[in-house]
Structure 1
Amino acid sequence: MAGALQRNKEEVASEMWNEQLNTDNKAALLAWVKDTGIRLVQINGQRKYGGPPPGWFGGPMPSGTEVFIGKIPQDIYEDKLIPLFQSVGKLYEFRLMMTFSGLNRGFAYAMYMDQCGAQKAIRLLNRYEIQKGHQILVSRSTNKCELCIDGLAPLVKEDHLLPMLQELTTGVLSITIHPSPFKKQRQLAVVKYTSHQAAAIAKKALVEGTLCLCGDQIAVDWLTSHIKRELHISSGQAIPEIMPTHYTCRDALSQEPLEPVNCHELPTLGSMVDYLNSLCEKKQLGYPEFFTKCVQRNPEGWLQVWYHVVIRRCLSPFNGFVWIKPDDSGLENDEKVKNVVALQILSALGCPVV
């Protein structure tokens, strides 16, 4: 559904949401839209601001310019979110995921005109208290572009599936079909799209459309590291062991170790990851790229996670293993892993946190 909020208030309300839900905040949003002249378009379960401006000849924004925003209270709308995220950098696009009843789904994506804007949003707005007692999470968007379609009949071929998906979705780049590791005598297709947005819209369309192929009901989901691993195993290829390696500052950097940093500012930055990002930005080392994978869980519930972190001006990546234990602290496991890893890297960079 495409609709602009500049249109008549009653028309917009009846088209885009249940009028009886959260009326005060919706009225404030409509008033803000009227005052600012901002255009919002709702389609495929999301409401979008911005995107390529008229006459835009550039390509898509590069990797690292989009952030994920989570834990948004469901009665918060763009009149609060867009000005907040515009305050740290120039927005290229803002997408708020919506329910049919007119509440947001609790998450959104903000894309900036450059990586600096995205980095500042993560550093300054992660854990920002947008509403009393409600802190939002801001992290780099994972930019997933691949879906898996499981449960395909043995007769389905790539040249059969490709035109069907091209008709139902947009942005299909490639398709590969493999024996399914999860369903006997069935196949699993890996479908790559041009962007995360194209893949997300395709996933929603395929899931809600209850796609059937050759009389079989199939399952559509993101292609995860677990599925990749299972595909690798089922193909009969050995998975190489990754041994932990730890680098000192002298190993990793092409310069002298950094001077110790006063860490009293750490609480204002929110986390070890934020602190590492801030330090790397200050020293012009490049934005840290985190890659992690859980390799085992022990009987006590601790998770062993392998990590690989790339910092552009470091000669070697940082690799190793860390242990974390899930608890009720409110932090996601991925966030806890990154904080522990960031602490180790800070120590390797000559900046011990005490």
Structure 2
Amino acid sequence: MASEVSIRAAEELLICDQQRYRVYQINGQKHVKLLDPDQFPEPMSEVFASNLPRDLSVETLFVFFLRCGKIFEVRLLMDYSGSNRGKCFVRYMRVEASRRAVCCLDNEPITGDHRVAVNLSMDNTQLILKRIPACVPDDWLRAVIWEAMGEGLVNISMKPSRIPFSKYCFCTFVDHQFAMRAHRKVWPFIHLGPVVSISVNWAVPKLLRHKTNLYFTNFPLTVTKQELFDLFTAKINVKTLLEFRIDNAYGVITFINFHSMRHAMTAFANITIGGLRMRFRSEPFLINPTDPSTES
């Protein structure tokens, strides 16, 4: 797809296949955003990329991710020297494009042999505060939390912990931006007096709390990740797939929950590629291919 795209940068404007993008920088991020007020991205359509070359141009970055679908916005993290920090967010117009990027662009070279890590980006709105002494009154703790990071905070949910004499809580914010500001403000601890500190971290996003893996093998080693992605998503709802990885002759697909994984196992039952019938199971395959326990 990239070879069909005419792309050029002119001052603060980037033009890609007759689509116009505004290029601007604010708060340590360089933005490349679609200039079309009538187009909006689908929810959960953003990916996070790291291990980028520090001298990577916006044009090269844009073309690399454009291979997976139409882009709404790129946010490249910058440092004070003017070079990028090796990280960026890419928001696509459609969820399918974000899943394709995670599955097909992760560990792929962007320039020369420089390989990029690509993961699904979550608009996480929750922080988790752990190892709170159980003796701390809930009302007083809520007051401390509100004072420390109250802007955008909409709910504080207390939970009993498996650790004796302790509890934890979830802090939910209006959106990811408010949660990010609160995390930056109080991380790594909120202090409850001179001797007690409670840890502050990002909560695991709700979408990932029940994720389930499906393992596969018996496919031609010449098959590409793009071909496998198209094969899988032709039989399942792409929104239930979070990612898949391949390590030599074995792979693993991650789904949003157990039900989606079981549905995929049934849908994939008779997949044949390159004359080989693929095998799927809910447990990892043993590396030794002669071991009978690797059979489905």
Alignment TM class, shorter chain as reference: 0.5 to 0.7
The amino acid of 2:203's aligned partner reads L
1:111 & 1:291 partners in 2: Cα distance? 15
CA displacement at 1:107 relative to structure 2? 2.7
Whether 1:286 aligns to 2:237 is yes
Q: Which residue of 2 aligns with 1:176?
A: 157
The CA distance in 1 between the partners of 2:101 and 2:87, in whole Å, is 15
Once superposed, what is the RMSD of the aligned Cα atoms?
4.6
Give the aligned partner of residue 34 of structure 1: 11
Residue 207 (structure 1) aligned to one of 180, 184, 187? 187
Cα separation, 2, equivalents of 1:75 and 1:218: 39
CA separation in 2, counterparts of 1:117 and 1:307?
A: 17
TM-score by length of 2: 0.60
In the TM superposition, what whole-angstrom CA distance separates every residue of 1:250-303 from its partner, at most 9, and x where no partner exists?
Answer: xxxxxxxxxxx984751x32xxxx55421133x3532163589xxxxxxxxxxx
**Which letter does structure 2 place at the counterpart of 1:133?**
D
Q: 2:25 is aligned with what amino acid?
A: V
Measure, in 2, the Cα distance between the counterparts of 1:152 and 1:285.
42
Q: Which amino acid aligns with 2:120?
A: R
Q: Which blocks of at least 5 consecutive residues in structure 1 are unaligned?
A: 1-30, 230-243, 247-260, 293-305, 320-341
Task: Indicate if the aligned counterparts of 1:263 and 1:353 stay in contact, CA closer than 8 A.
Answer: no
Q: How far apart are 1:32 and its partner, in Å?
A: 4.5
Equivalent residue for 1:328?
none
Q: Match of 1:164, as an amino acid?
A: E
Matches within 5 A, 1:319-338: none
What is the CA distance between 1:86 and its match in structure 2? 3.4
Q: CA deviation at 1:81?
A: 1.3
Match of 1:84 in 2: 64
2:101 pairs, out of 102, 121, 141, with: 121
Task: Provide the residue aligned with 2:229 in structure 1.
Answer: 277
Are the equivalent residues in 2 in contact too, given 1:75–1:103 (CA < 8 A)? yes
Conserved? CA contact 1:277–1:287, under 8 Å: no
CA contact (8 A) 1:277 1:288 kept: no
CA–CA distance in structure 1, aligned partners of residues 26 and 115 of structure 2: 26
| 1:121 CA displacement | 2.9
Match of 2:49 among 66, 69, 80: 69
* Helix, strand or coil at the partner of 1:136: strand
Whole-angstrom CA distance in 2 between matches of 1:72 and 1:80? 11
DSSP 3-state at the match of 1:348? coil
CA contact (8 A) 2:51 2:86 kept: yes
Q: What are the residue-to-residue correspondences of 1:211-230 with 2, within 5 Å?
A: 211-214=190-193, 216-224=196-204
Distance in structure 1 (CA, Å) of the matches to 2:144 and 2:57: 39
Query: Which secondary structure state, in structure 2, belongs to the residue aligned with residue 76 of structure 1?
Result: coil
What are the superposed Cα offsets for residues 123-177 of structure 1, whole Å, 9 maximum, x if unpaired?
553333112221113333344432112355614536525643564x43x342112
Letter in 2 for 1:350: I
Q: TM-score, normalised by structure 1?
A: 0.51
- How far apart, in 2, do the equivalents of 1:197 and 1:276 lie? 35
In 2, distance between residues paired with 1:91 and 1:179? 43
SS in 2 for 1:39: strand
Letter of the 2:24 partner, please give it: L
Letter in 2 for 1:117: A
- Distance 1:93-1:162 versus aligned 2 partners, 3 A rule: farther
Contact 2:148 2:186 in 1 (8 A): no
**Structure holding more strand per residue:** 2
State how 1:287-302 maps to structure 2 within 5 Å: 287=238, 289=240
Cα separation, 2, equivalents of 1:39 and 1:222: 30
The answer to whether the 8 Å contact 1:88/1:117 transfers is yes
User: In 2, Cα distance between the equivalents of 1:54 and 1:164?
Assistant: 40
- Percent identity between the two aligned chains: 20
Deviation at 1:112, TM superposition (A): 0.9
Residue pair 2:73, 2:92 contacting (<8 A) in 1 also: yes
Q: Which has the higher contact order (CA 8 A, sep 6+)?
A: 2
Distance 1:346 1:141, change over 3 A: farther
Aligned residue among 257, 269, 272 for 1:348 = 269
d(CA) in 2 for partners of 1:213, 1:350: 57
What one-letter code is carried by the residue in structure 1 that aligns with 2:200?
V
